Amino acid sequence: MQPVIEARNLSKTYRLYGNPYHRLLERLPWNRGRKLHREVPALQDVSFHVGRGECVGVVGSNGAGKSTLLKVLSGTTFPTAGSYTVNGRVTSLLELGAGFQPNFSGRENVFMNAALMGFSRKEAQRKYQEIVDFSELGEFIHAPVRTYSSGMQARLGFSVAVATEPDLLIIDEILAVGDMGFRKKCVERIWKYKSEGRSMFFCSHSLYDVRQICERAIWMHQGRAQLIADSVTVTNEYASYETKAGGAEGDPRPFADAPHAGRRPEDMPHIVEGVILDAATLQPRNTFAPGESCAIRVHVRNGAVREQLHLAIGARRNDGTECFTHATQFDGRTIDFAEGHVTLFLDCIRLLSGKFTVVLYLFDADGVHRYEERPANAQLIVQNRTKDLGLFLQDHRWRIEPLR
């Protein structure tokens, strides 16, 4: 079966001019051969393919060439060298709302964008109500786009883009549009594309999202494809590289000070609190020695519409190193109550000395949409009374055998 997209030795070099007039002067006959620009390579010999029904992720630090690659594949810019083939309709979610005419109403922009995407007037009319319903703009669809907030423009842009039902969906860091309820709708729509066997090309700094959504991934580094493999291997290698380089870009997400994004707390699932306890007495305690047992109890309250949830609990060192993260989803457990406690028992702490932030994550049933991320009420303090060194105490044994 033909891949939905195939790139062969893609390269892109930008020309930077010190003065706008140099671009013209360089083309004059008497200046032939005289370079008035500086060349900056953004892509260098990138080759890959995306199969039918496959989701491929793209990771890399800022300036690695990710956005340039997506713009080339979307037809926004042209490669300097190499070629690529696309089989089917492609929709890009790069800059939501880009291309909207601010003086036109939302309705007029819907039909204009539909025409640019190749839809007939009849097809656009058939999709119009679906777009309006998904965007939740209501009567504001008739107002000029210049009166929209940035969130409203993002809603309309996403709704128009996903209504095209493409063969390949190219996504660039757009899983944070609108408020929490709309973000969940966006994630569900993307997950629906995946379940329907459609192809996706997904660029994100969130390594968790890449691991959850993608089968394979590409690590871009200085314009080249550093590694192409399964998503777990690529994200692990990339996270290790960033840690060594001091970039700490593995999965940067600040704690949410306002997790409900303007909605009443009872409307959405949320974490009430998380406490660290002594595993035996279940009394509050946050200082332990390696080998002792502790428990982390999280008070979870479901939303107005009850749904299945997943909880993850991790420990993060002050330098950003993720020491461990355990999730109910990975252990085959599901939260399905209106309100209650979920307790993680750590029967034998293996961490050595240090202060660790206990991070709590609340997910939807698919483990993709994060309702909330927040710390527990106290840090986990581990005080080692031995001379062992390192991050954690590994189970071990010795064998000493003299040679005869």
Give the pLDDT score at 253: 41
Spatial separation of the C-alpha atoms in residues 52 and 57, rounded to whole Å: 15
CATH of region 5-245: 3.40.50.300
| CA count, 13 A, side-chain hemisphere, 28 | 8
Tell me the pLDDT tens digit for each residue of 145-201.
889 887 788 788 888 877 877 788 888 766 555 566 677 777 788 778 888 888 888
Q: Which CATH architecture has domain 268-382?
A: Sandwich (2.60)
CA–CA gap between residue 214 and residue 261 (Å, rounded): 28
Backbone angles phi, psi at 64, to 5 degrees: -80, -15
- Name the CA dihedral angle for 232, 233, 234, 240, rounded to a multiple of 10 degrees: 100
CATH 3.40.50.300 in the chain: give the residue spans: 5-245
Q: Decide: residue 378, CB within 10 A, 0-12 exposed, 13-18 middle, 19+ buried.
A: middle
- Long-range contacts from 317-325, C-beta under 8 angstroms, 24+ separation: 317/354, 317/356, 317/357, 317/391, 318/354, 318/355, 318/357, 319/248, 320/248, 320/250, 321/243, 321/391, 322/250, 322/251, 323/351, 323/356, 323/391, 323/392, 325/359, 325/361
User: Please, what's the largest Cα pairwise distance for the chain?
Assistant: 91
Q: Give 72-103 pLDDT, tens digit per residue.
A: 988 888 999 999 998 887 877 766 556 688 88
Q: Report yes or no: 299 and 271 within 8 Å, Cβ to Cβ.
A: yes
pLDDT, mean of residues 295-309: 92
Outline which parts of the chain fall under CATH 2.60.40.10: 268-382
What is the structure's pLDDT at 356? Answer: 92
**Element (DSSP H or E) covering residue 159:** helix 150-162
382, 351 contact by CB (below 8 A): yes
Contact 182, 190 (CB under 8 A): no
Write the DSSP symbol of residue 117: T
pLDDT at 399: 84
**What are the distances in angstroms from CA 105 to CA 8, 100, 148, 171, 235?**
41, 9, 10, 26, 42
Strand 199-203 with 168-172, pairing: parallel
The count of C-alpha atoms lying within 13 angstroms of the C-alpha of 367, restricted to the half-sphere facing its C-beta, is 17
> What confidence tens digit (pLDDT) does each residue in 222-258 have?
999 999 999 888 988 887 787 666 554 444 443 333 3
The residue length of the chain stands at 404
Element (H, E) at 43: strand 37-50
Q: Which two tokens stand for residue 349?
A: 């702490």
pTM of the model: 0.69
Distance CA 145, CA 241 (A): 43
